[in-house]
């Protein structure tokens, strides 16, 4: 009985200690560049954050030019050393990074499935620029509730493919067994982040194919048309996937 009581007391003390840690504000450092304000856990090496800052600044105008819009002028970039702090701040359990509007980024220092933190930062930044393009395309001033409802229909496959491409997160199709076996995914599969996350493997070549076949201006039109392939390219979803796979076969799977 005494043993049970000791275990219970120990459990309560541990729970209180964890609760205390959870609610204590994190110590952060700050670095400012021309277009970014980086707020990061004090335990993260400042030199590593400087590398992220350089990567973000060096891609600021390029991605803005690629997506034919002007990115937000001052983007708050939050970098977390611990995943639980990222989850606490964002409520996002299933990813390593996300955006909050056009001028706020969040991501974990060590992301799942990506060893290059600079690419994670650029990937999230590209999301803000895509969102800015969509907002610029709306009748001004934008009604936030109406836009949020419309934005919820934007396809995951195009949203993620653009950021994967802009962050140069290329995955060689030769290393993807399902592509080698001719089992290319449908758009509904690519829209599902939780079922294999194939869009992160295929996103680069999808944008590469669109640029090769339809050109840059038509890619921008596709974004403005919320991924409507029939309206933009006069093709069905099924035809698009087949043509993309034929492109991948010819270029990478010979």
Calculate mean pLDDT across residues 97-114: 84
For 132-173, how does the pLDDT look when each residue is reduced to its tens digit (9 = 90+)? 999 999 988 888 999 999 999 999 999 999 999 999 999 999
Q: Which has more confidence, 102 or 193?
A: 102
Calculate mean pLDDT across residues 94-98: 82
Calculate mean pLDDT across residues 182-197: 90
Q: Which CATH superfamily is domain 24-152 in?
A: Collagenase ColT, N-terminal domain (3.40.30.160)
Query: Which helix (H) or strand (E) segment is 105 a member of?
Result: strand 104-108
Do 169 and 203 meet the contact criterion of CB atoms below 8 Å apart? yes
Task: pLDDT band for 177, please (50, 70, 90 cuts).
Answer: very high
Strands 36-41, 75-80: parallel, antiparallel or unpaired by DSSP? Answer: parallel
Task: pLDDT band for 236, please (50, 70, 90 cuts).
Answer: very high
Domain extent listing, the chain: 24-152, 155-253
Query: 3-class SS at 118?
Result: helix
pTM: predicted TM-score of the whole model, two decimal places: 0.88
Task: pLDDT band for 116, please (50, 70, 90 cuts).
Answer: confident
Do 125 and 74 meet the contact criterion of CB atoms below 8 Å apart? no
Q: Sheet containing 36-41: which strands, arranged edge to edge?
A: 28-32, 36-41, 75-80, 104-108, 97-99
Q: What are the beta bridge partners of residue 77?
A: 38, 105
For 21-79, how does the pLDDT look when each residue is reduced to its tens digit (9 = 90+)? 445 567 789 999 999 999 998 889 999 999 999 999 999 999 999 999 999 999 999 99
Nearest to 106 by CA among 61, 41, 165: 41
> Phi/psi of residue 189, each to 5°?
-65, -45
Whole-number pLDDT of residue 4: 57
Give helix then strand counts, H and E, for the chain.
Answer: 12, 5
Nearest to 97 by CA among 129, 57, 126, 72: 126
Whole-number pLDDT of residue 127: 97
- Indicate whether 113 pLDDT > 80: no
Whole-number pLDDT of residue 34: 97
Whole-number pLDDT of residue 220: 98
Tell me the Cα Rg of the chain. 21
Mean pLDDT, the chain, rounded, equals: 89
């Amino acid at each position: 009985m005494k043993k049970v009581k000791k275990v219970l007391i120990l459990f309560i003390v541990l729970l209180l200690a964890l609760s205390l840690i959870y609610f204590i504000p994190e110590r952060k450092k700050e670095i400012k560049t021309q277009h970014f304000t980086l707020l990061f856990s004090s335990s993260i090496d400042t030199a590593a954050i400087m590398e992220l800052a350089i990567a973000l600044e060096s891609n600021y105008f390029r991605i803005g030019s690629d997506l034919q819009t002007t990115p937000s002028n001052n983007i708050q970039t939050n970098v977390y050393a611990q995943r639980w702090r990222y989850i606490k701040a964002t409520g996002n359990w299933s990813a390593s990074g996300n955006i909050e509007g056009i001028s706020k980024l969040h991501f974990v220092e060590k992301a799942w499935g990506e060893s290059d933190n600079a690419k994670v930062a650029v990937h999230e930044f590209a999301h803000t620029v895509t969102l800015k393009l969509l907002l610029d395309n709306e009748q001004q001033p934008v009604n936030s509730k109406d836009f949020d409802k419309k934005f919820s229909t934007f396809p995951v496959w195009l949203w993620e493919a653009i950021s994967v491409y802009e962050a140069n997160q290329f995955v060689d199709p030769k290393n993807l067994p399902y592509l080698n076996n001719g089992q290319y995914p449908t758009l509904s599969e690519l829209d599902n982040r939780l079922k294999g996350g194939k869009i992160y493997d295929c996103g680069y070549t999808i944008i590469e194919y669109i640029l090769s076949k339809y050109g840059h201006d038509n890619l921008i039109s596709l974004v403005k048309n919320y991924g409507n392939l029939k309206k933009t390219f006069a093709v069905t979803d099924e035809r698009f996937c087949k043509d993309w796979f034929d492109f991948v076969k010819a270029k990478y799977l010979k």
